[in-house]
């Protein structure tokens, strides 16, 4: 299914993966590298890595592509960053979770549930005034589902931000 | 003060267990620290207390910014890290300008700041400031010490990070209950920093690629920066220049990496560099940067900078590659090692015509100044260079006097010229000279300052007096913020705004009030005698040169203009406002 127009128009963000020491302040140091260069971070996921004392960060960001090389170098230069890799457009496995709240009377939910079923979204809360859907998958797929749900009474949206992992023996 | 007011009185640790502060001082001694520059305060009292029983000498400054510049001058003159100790809150925030200065110019600085006790963090406690937060953008790395047991590891890491690779400042923020509490940790030698690499030797492929490019050059230029001074690459750079038969130009901070009086040396390039250095850069067919970063003072209008020349960039910091422009070849490695390893790979460049051309430019456009019309800064600096034989260490503050000093005081070797290049910090020059003299007491040390910058940190006259630090301060007094006045004259129809330093004190009397020898030069005929008098005085001296009020620095490339648009003589027609920054 083709993504609706709004999602297509959205600027394609860059996706970076960082392997960092799990220390206080590391998130601020990373964020400042972007902010100083007028880059906007669109999503950022931090989680413990397989090795103790280290964390993974997946950052999606948008801004001048020419600046990206410098951003990656400045991230790599941080003492607490072990490596920073640009995964934009590569074959890494990417996924994201979205929670969507729809406020809709019980008797008008047929189409909403059809959309949910099509996208493999699960109804995780089914109340008299509203329902919550949980969907996961590629960010563009979630964008498409969300656009279809907007006219159905979508009131709240929480997305986890993209996470990714490089395939095979390639480093994430 | 109320340093310990908000918590229960700490119980003194048993005699057998040292405090965090005592362990800190032992770790500093183990790193070879002999002197700390600092200003005390409540949250740092335990650390100052531990210094009482230590061999490390404490030099009490009068303002924390002064401490950072003194430590920076100490570091740049010696190559060893300078250490600063301050208290929390405003004590620590007063180091921010010094951290920026050191960060921009890659100077190894360790700033240790006291912090409020851990339970008070984030409560707006007295003299609390989020110092690690405030300083993130201006440090190479920083620590907020959460546990006294971490002190030995953190000190080891801080010194390693500050002094290796591309050096820089490291801040260590220590809550008072950590420094005051017990600490039984042992010294640490092993480093575990998986995110920190320091390049050394270059890749052999990069070196042979460089040799191939150099072999084709007929009009090469070696463009030498601070990285060459830091790595001690001077001899290797000169050997390379001689082998290639290539002229050398250096940046403001690269002064002295190679001897500026050598026939192959064309002096400083850039905004106020020599006309012949800038002509050479405009016409070269190859430019090799060694530890320099294509700064906007150097390149002018970027699109037109060395447009058709092959560019090679040698640097220890890979983030500098492709940052400003895209060189044909980047070589990651230590400047000295790269130059040494390149030497056997290069041949003379068949550049005799080129060297002749450079000499013609040198003769056609010498650095000049009017000999009449009163006392001129250029004259005083020219004589200072001649009288000292260029053998002193010179620190310069920021402004017109800095550029004239850079032009007329030619530097013969590395670590004899110290100034704030990247940050352009007014107030740096005088305290930096104190630090340089502490580091190398056998050397003659001159601070060349202006009346504007000197007044920002002059309280360190007391520091110089108390420790009898025999620095010679040459104050170029034109009662103006002269560089800005020059811009306003040249580009803003002489609409002077915020540059007249009416109300300057009598600087000779001011020096005397501090117990420092004060001397004054009013006439050109007195210059030599007064410089000699300052040299022969055994202690610190303030030598005030009352120079003509309105004088301009030339040559000048307007900010953002192509180098070819260099103004060599005072212009007769109004100029457009520069498009470049500052």
Categorize the per-residue pLDDT at A2 as very low, low, confident or very high, splitting at 50, 70 and 90: very low
pLDDT at A4: 47
Q: Which of B140, B195, B197 to mutate to test the interface with A (most CBs of A within 10 A)?
A: B195
Q: How far apart are CA B472 and CA B393, in angstroms?
A: 10
B55-103 pLDDT, tens digit per residue, is: 999 999 999 999 999 999 999 999 999 999 999 999 999 999 999 999 9
Mean pLDDT, chain A, rounded, equals: 92
Cβ <8 Å between B161 and A78: no
At residue B491, φ and ψ (nearest 5 deg) are -115, -10
Mean pLDDT, chain B, rounded, equals: 96
Residue B535 pLDDT > 50, yes or no?
yes
Report strand pairing: B248-250 vs B220-224: parallel
Strand extents, DSSP E, B480-538: 517-521
Q: Which of A24, A36, A79 sits opposite B141 (nearest CB)?
A: A79
pLDDT at B11: 65
Query: What pairs with residue B310 in β-bridges?
Result: B286
Q: In what order do the strands lie in the sheet with B393-396?
A: B417-419, B393-396, B445-450, B472-477, B541-546, B517-521
- Read off the pTM: 0.94
For B299, the token pair is 């390149």
Chain CA centroid to CA B497, Å: 29
For B110, the token pair is 């360790």
Residue B10 pLDDT > 70, yes or no?
no
Categorize the per-residue pLDDT at B580 as very low, low, confident or very high, splitting at 50, 70 and 90: confident
pLDDT at A6: 46
Residue A1 pLDDT > 50, yes or no?
no
Which class for B212: exposed (0-12), middle (13-18), buried (19 or more C-beta within 10 A)? Answer: exposed
pLDDT at B571: 86
pLDDT at B3: 46
Residues of A with Cβ-Cβ distance to B195 under 8 angstroms? 20-21, 78-83
A35-83 pLDDT, tens digit per residue, is: 999 999 999 999 999 998 999 999 999 888 889 999 999 999 999 999 9
B394-427 pLDDT, tens digit per residue, is: 999 999 999 999 999 999 999 999 999 999 999 9
Mean pLDDT for the stretch of residues B498-513: 98
Residues of A with Cβ-Cβ distance to B196 under 8 angstroms? 79
Which residues 19-38 of chain A have a CB within 8 Å of chain B? 20-21, 24-25, 28-29, 32, 36
pLDDT at A91: 92
Provide the 3-class DSSP secondary structure of residue B211: helix
Residue B445 pLDDT > 50, yes or no?
yes
Query: What pairs with residue B35 in β-bridges?
Result: B57
Categorize the per-residue pLDDT at A7 as very low, low, confident or very high, splitting at 50, 70 and 90: very low
Cβ <8 Å between A20 and B322: no
More confident residue, B259 or B371: B259
In the set B126, B321, B491, B492, the catalytic residue is B126
Q: Which of B144, B194, B320, B326 to mutate to test the interface with A (most CBs of A within 10 A)?
A: B194
pLDDT at B569: 87
CA distance B98 to chain A (A): 20
Q: What is the ipTM of this complex?
A: 0.92
Cβ <8 Å between A24 and B144: yes
Cβ <8 Å between B136 and A82: no
B408-413 — which CB contacts under 8 Å span 24+ positions? B408/B367, B408/B378, B408/B381, B408/B382, B408/B384, B409/B381, B409/B384, B409/B385, B409/B448, B410/B260, B410/B261, B410/B267, B410/B385, B411/B255, B411/B256, B411/B259, B411/B260, B412/B256, B412/B259, B412/B260, B412/B261, B413/B234, B413/B256, B413/B259
Torsion angle of the four alpha carbons B414, B419, B420, B424, in this order, in degrees rounded to the nearest 10: -140
B272-318 pLDDT, tens digit per residue, is: 999 999 999 999 999 999 999 999 999 999 999 999 999 999 999 99
Q: For chain B, what percent of residues have pLDDT higher than 70?
A: 97
pLDDT at A64: 83
Q: Which of A25, A28, A82 sits opposite B195 (nearest CB)?
A: A82
Residues 6+ apart with CB under 8 A from B344: none
Residue B23 pLDDT > 60, yes or no?
yes
Categorize the per-residue pLDDT at B12 as very low, low, confident or very high, splitting at 50, 70 and 90: low
């Amino acid at each position: 299914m083709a993504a609706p127009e709004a999602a297509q128009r959205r600027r394609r963000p860059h996706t970076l993966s960082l392997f960092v020491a799990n220390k206080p302040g590391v998130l601020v140091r990373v964020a400042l590298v972007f902010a100083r260069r007028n880059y906007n971070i669109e999503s950022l996921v931090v989680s413990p890595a397989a090795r103790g004392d280290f964390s993974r960060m997946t950052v999606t960001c948008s801004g001048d592509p020419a600046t990206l090389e410098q951003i990656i170098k400045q991230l790599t230069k941080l003492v607490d960053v072990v490596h920073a890799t640009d995964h934009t457009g590569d074959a890494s496995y990417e996924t994201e979770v979205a929670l969507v709240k729809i406020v809709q009377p019980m008797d008008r939910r047929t189409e909403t549930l059809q959309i949910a079923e099509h996208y493999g979204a699960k109804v995780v809360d089914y109340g008299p005034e509203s329902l919550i859907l949980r969907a996961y998958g590629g960010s563009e797929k979630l964008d498409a589902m969300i656009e279809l749900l907007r006219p159905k009474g979508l009131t709240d949206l929480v997305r986890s931000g993209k996470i990714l992992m490089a395939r095979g023996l390639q480093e994430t | 003060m109320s340093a310990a007011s908000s918590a229960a009185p700490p119980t003194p640790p048993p005699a057998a267990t040292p405090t965090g502060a005592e362990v800190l001082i032992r770790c500093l001694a183990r790193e070879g620290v002999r002197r700390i520059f600092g200003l005390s305060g409540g949250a740092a009292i335990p650390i100052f207390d531990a210094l009482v029983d230590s061999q490390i000498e404490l030099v009490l400054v009068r303002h924390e910014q002064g401490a950072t510049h003194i430590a920076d001058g100490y570091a740049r003159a010696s190559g060893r890290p300078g250490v600063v100790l301050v208290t929390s809150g405003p004590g620590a925030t007063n180091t921010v300008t010094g951290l920026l200065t050191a960060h921009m110019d890659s100077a190894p600085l360790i700033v240790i700041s006291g912090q409020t006790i851990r339970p008070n963090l984030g409560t707006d406690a007295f003299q609390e400031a989020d110092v690690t937060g405030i300083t993130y953008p201006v440090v190479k790395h920083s620590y907020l010490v959460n546990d006294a047991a971490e002190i030995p590891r953190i000190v080891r890491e801080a010194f390693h990070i500050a002094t290796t690779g591309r050096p820089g400042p490291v801040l260590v923020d220590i809550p008072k209950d950590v420094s005051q509490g017990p600490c039984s940790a042992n010294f640490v030698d092993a480093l575990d920093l998986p995110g920190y690499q320091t390049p050394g030797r270059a890749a052999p492929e990069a070196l042979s690629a460089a040799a191939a490019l150099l072999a084709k050059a007929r009009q090469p230029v070696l463009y030498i920066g601070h990285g060459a001074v830091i790595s001690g690459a001077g001899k290797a750079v000169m050997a390379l220049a001689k082998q290639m038969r290539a002229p050398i130009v250096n940046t403001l901070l690269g002064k002295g990496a190679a001897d500026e009086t050598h026939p192959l040396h064309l002096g400083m390039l850039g905004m106020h560099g020599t006309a012949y250095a800038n002509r050479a850069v405009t016409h070269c067919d190859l430019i090799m940067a060694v530890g320099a970063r294509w700064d906007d003072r150097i390149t002018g209008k970027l699109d037109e900078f060395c447009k058709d020349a092959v560019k090679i960039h040698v640097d220890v910091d890979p983030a500098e590659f492709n940052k400003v422009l895209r060189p044909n070849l980047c070589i990651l490695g230590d400047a000295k090692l790269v130059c040494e390893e390149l030497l056997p790979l290069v041949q003379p460049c068949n550049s005799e015509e080129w060297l002749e051309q450079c000499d013609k430019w040198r003769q056609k456009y010498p650095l000049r100044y009017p000999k009449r019309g009163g006392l001129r800064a250029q004259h005083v600096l020219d004589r200072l260079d001649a009288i000292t034989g260029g053998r002193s260490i010179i620190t310069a503050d920021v402004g017109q006097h800095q550029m004239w000093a850079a032009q007329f005081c030619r530097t013969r070797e590395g670590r004899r010229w110290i100034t704030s290049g990247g940050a352009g910090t007014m107030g740096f020059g005088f305290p930096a000279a104190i630090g340089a003299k502490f580091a190398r007491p056998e050397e003659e040390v001159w601070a060349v300052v202006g009346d504007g910058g000197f007044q920002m940190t002059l309280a360190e006259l007391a520091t110089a007096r108390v420790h009898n630090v025999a620095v010679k301060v040459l104050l170029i007094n034109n009662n103006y913020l002269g560089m800005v006045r020059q811009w306003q004259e040249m580009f803003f129809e002489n609409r002077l705004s915020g540059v007249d330093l009416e109300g300057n004190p009598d600087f000779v009397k001011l020096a005397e009030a501090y117990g420092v020898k004060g001397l004054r030069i009013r006439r050109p005929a007195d210059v030599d005698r007064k410089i000699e008098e300052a040299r022969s005085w055994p202690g610190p001296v303030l030598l005030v040169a009352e120079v003509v009020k309105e004088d301009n620095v030339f040559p000048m490339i307007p900010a953002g203009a192509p180098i070819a648009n260099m103004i060599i003589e005072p212009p007769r027609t109004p100029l457009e406002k520069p498009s470049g920054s500052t």
